[in-house]
Structure 1
Amino acid sequence: MPLVKTNVMRILEQHKIPYTAHEYPYGKDAVDGETVARMLGQDPARVFKTLVARGKSGGYHVFAVPVDKELDLKKAAKAAGEKAVELIHVKELLPLTGYVRGGCSPVGMKKAFSTVFDASAAAQETIMVSAGKIGYQVECAPQALAALVRADFAPVTAD
């Protein structure tokens, strides 16, 4: 277990969701997800990044997609029940979610937003998401994670 216990880890424990914490070396700047996957010796298809988008309705939506894939905005809009969605600007992330770029987790945001995990997550035994702090990831069953944040599974990545 890492020396640091993040809010995400506390929430998982409160809900009795088993997880494995992973720690990776980091500097001041966030590293991209594929680098994180490599540093942790993980298949990038199992390591998910958390993206936040604003829908045409003005509502916010959270998408968890494999770090080696891009979010398809058309598919994301359809999954979120929106006409269109666009990713929020990085400066909006912290005030909106409570997380910084590179440490954004679908678990424990300031408010509960509609959340969609890419359909590929459902086929994995476990997936990794940010533990809410740069340098830390949590690995757990995608179904348990999705149930916790009331997420749907849908194909939202670009082909």
Structure 2
Amino acid sequence: MTPAINLLQREKIAHTVRSYVHDAQADSYGGEAVQKLGLKAEQVFKTLLASTETHELLVAVVPVAGQLDLKALADVAGCRKCAMAPVDAAQRATGYLVGGISPLGQKKRLRTFIDASAQGLPTLHVSAGRRGLEVELEPADLARLTGAVFATLRR
């Protein structure tokens, strides 16, 4: 079990865990999940970490089919600008490895933002905390557990 799955079980949140054999040569972790699990790309979300000018880390959950708009994230977070966080900082703060970072069960509670497109979905898939492991849950449950705000974050 991962901290993400443990959190969902502890909070009694309806979810489905799906796994696949991760290919280290895959060029996109999210794309690999879409392909190997036969999911729709608009329902699979990636968890990205950005850093503000004051070095605050922010979590952005966006569809794998799109790209994170760092300016939009900065606007909604109330800062001047954001950049992608260094890999080591992201891994240290979350307790997860890149490619398996889940928005759930992170070591540090970080401000979290979910792309608004998730609100129209009955369920979405995010990393369950390990490469090759996804969890399906309702967007509202994800937002509640992470304290997230929905906002338009993708280009």
Match of 1:78 in 2: 75
1:129 corresponds to: 126
Letter aligned with residue 7 of structure 1: P
Give the root-mean-square deviation of aligned CA atoms: 1.3
User: Which stretch shows the higher mean deviation, 124-133 or 83-92?
Assistant: 83-92
Work out the CA distance in 2 between the residues paired with 1:103 and 1:128.
12
TM-score by structure 1 length? 0.92
Residues 4 and 104, structure 2, Cα contact 8 Å, conserved in 1: yes
- CA shift, 1:93, in A, is 2.2
Query: What corresponds to 1:145 in structure 2?
Result: 142
What amino acid is aligned across from residue 150 of structure 1 in structure 2? Answer: G
The one of 11, 21, 27 equivalent to 1:25 is 21
Task: Name the amino acid aligned to 2:11.
Answer: H
Which residue of 12, 26, 30 corresponds with 1:16?
12
Could you tell me which runs of 5 or more consecutive residues in structure 2 were left unpaired when the two chains were aligned: none
Question: 2: CA distance between counterparts of 1:95 and 1:130?
Answer: 17
Structure 1 residues 51-73: Cα deviation after superposition (integer angstroms, max 9, x where no partner): 00111232111000000100001
- Larger CA deviation: 26-35 vs 137-146: 26-35
> TM-score, structure 2 length as denominator?
0.94
Aligned to 1:89: 86
Per mean C-alpha deviation after superposition, the further-off stretch among 26-35 and 97-106 is: 26-35
Q: % of aligned pairs identical?
A: 38
How many residue pairs get aligned? The number is 154
Q: Determine if the alignment matches structure 1 residue 68 to structure 2 residue 68.
A: no
| Counterpart-to-counterpart distance in 2, 1:35 and 1:71 | 18
Q: Contact between 2:49 and 2:84, CA under 8 Å: does it hold in 1?
A: yes
- Distance (whole Å) between structure 2 residues aligned to residue 21 and residue 79 of structure 1: 31
